[in-house]
Structure 1
Amino acid sequence: MFTATWLFEDRADAGRQLARAVEDEGLDDPLVMALPRGGVPVAYEIAVHIAAPLEILIVRKIGAPGHEEFGLGALVDGEEPELVLNRRAIRLVRPPKGYLEAETERQRAEILRRRTLYFGDRAPASSRARDVILVDDGIATGGTVRAAIKALRRMGVGRLVLAVPVAPKSELTELRSQVDRIVCLATPFAFRAVGLYYRNFEQTADEEVLALMEKARLRNERD
């Protein structure tokens, strides 16, 4: 049986530990960008620690039929949501005809729902020509993060740093050429799932995302 010793109490603890590593990157007026929902509590702690604004980048995984955690690609929010497909995974799974189109439209609707909920009438902060710290609560297959990186590059960001508490070493090796820097606290041997390395890995609710974003906004205004 596989067992893992947890490394983090919860996402906030992971964020505080990660923040101490990120502060050494020497970024110029960075924007902390979180992948919701789980990446927001991690990113909030980083934003507070380095006194940077916090923003959200909505990315929705296109999961395999019957196995939603196995990503066939991802849809990234933007003026025009961008679809990034994993052709190797698609060849392996061979989803039925029409599945990708239907699932993409389902995730497009979920992106619209979350955009309305998280932003309301507010325009997202621009990342163009700006140093960005992209944050999630961990990496498993890397599909969601890979899609986010590709979208941010197309948005014209400045220096791009990927910051995650835990990830498999193999995924970081593949991602290293796509970002300027990777900050990762742990790369456990025989990596199985992100949640195994947290003592508390309860799902992050929309209400927590909204509360943290409001706290970050008020703190940034005071600073």
Structure 2
Amino acid sequence: MFRNRTEAGRALARRLGHLREAAPVVLALPRGGVPVGFEVATALPAPLDLLLVRKVGAPGFPELAAGAVAEQHPTMLINEDVVRDLGISRSYLEQEAARQRAEIERRRGLYRHGRAPLPLEGRTVILVDDGVATGATVRVALQALAQSGAARRIVLAVPVAPPSVAEALRGFCDEAVFLATPEPFGAVGSFFADFTQVEDAEVIALLQRGEGGPPSSGAAAFRPGR
């Protein structure tokens, strides 16, 4: 369906043109959402930053979200259906959530180098990811944004999601844009010809180019593929 994340981001940007006059801020979910968000931010144009969220994977199935945690969000979102069906213990969830919060702190230092997140007060915020499967990660990101109370309007923009998940996520934001909601769904990566893992160096480089991050020697040396 999409050649790569760049193509998906440009297609999303065309659907989001009506927000250009709102002077939005684009927040991408790292790492996969950053190349998509970069294209949206470039096209509008808008500043690019991150919203750091981590999936709490199910035991033995790390790609299956049993829950999710986000920076500056005090509680863990639990995917009750997955937890119930797999019999996942509370102790496992707490241990894995702690591990993912540590990863959020690592990425905060790596990507931002001490820089504070972009201010969102009174702004239209466009939250971007490269795709949605269970929706747990995006849902906790939307809840974190809503709980902060800073954004005037929250828009979710995602290339692909299952129909039922897309419909559920619409209830957590002011507007949602999905390029495709196929059924049956499968995995997000199955809708991209190139779904190569995004590395930290690419995230840093794109943040710098999107005016959402500080200059760094590592970022300057990296040239994202087009």
Structure-2-length-normalised TM-score: 0.89
Q: 2:87 aligns with which of 89, 94, 97?
A: 94
Question: Which residue does 1:182 correspond to in 2?
Answer: 176
* Aligned 8 A contact 1:59 1:74 in 2: yes
Relative to 1, partners in 2 of residues 1:153 and 1:8: Cα closer, same or farther, differing over 3 Å? Answer: same
Q: Is the 8 A contact 1:127 1:155 kept in 2?
A: no
| 2:27 alignment partner AA | M
Equivalent residue number for residue 145 of structure 1: 138
Give the structure 2 partner of residue 211 of structure 1: 205
Following the alignment from structure 1 to structure 2, what is the Cα–Cα distance between the partners of residues 27 and 114? 32
Deviation at 1:126, TM superposition (A): 2.0
Alignment of 1:1-223 (within 5 A): 7-25=1-19, 28-78=22-72, 81-96=74-89, 98-156=91-149, 157-217=151-211
Q: CA deviation at 1:26?
A: 5.3
Which residue of structure 1 aligns with residue 217 of structure 2? none
Computed over aligned residues only, the root mean square deviation of the Cα atoms, in angstroms, reads 1.6
More contact order relative to length (CA 8 Å, sep ≥ 6): 1
CA distance change for structure 1 residues 25 and 94 in 2, over 3 Å: closer, same or farther?
A: same
Contact 1:81 1:108 in 2 (8 A): no
- Residue 4 of structure 1 is matched in structure 2 by none
Deviation, 1:69, is: 1.3
Between the two proteins, the alignment pairs up a number of residues equal to 212
Contact 1:27 1:131 in 2 (8 A): no
Q: Give unpaired runs (5+ residues) of structure 2.
A: 214-226
1:54-77, Cα deviation, whole Å (9 max, x unpaired): 010010001111111111110101
Q: Partner amino acid for 1:61?
A: K
Pick which of 29-38 and 100-109 moved more: 100-109
The answer for unaligned runs of 5 or more in structure 1 is 1-6
CA contact (8 A) 1:160 1:181 kept: yes
**Change beyond 3 A, Cα 1:147–1:27:** farther
Cα distance change on mapping 1:82 and 1:125 into 2, 3 Å? farther
**Partners of 1:73 and 1:40 in 2: CA distance:** 21
Q: Letter of the 2:110 partner, please give it.
A: L
Distance, in Å, in 1 between the alignment partners of 2:12 and 2:197 is 20
Secondary structure of the corresponding residue to residue 161 of structure 1 = strand
The one-letter code matched in structure 2 to 1:13 is E
Q: Which amino acid in 2 is paired with 1:40?
A: V
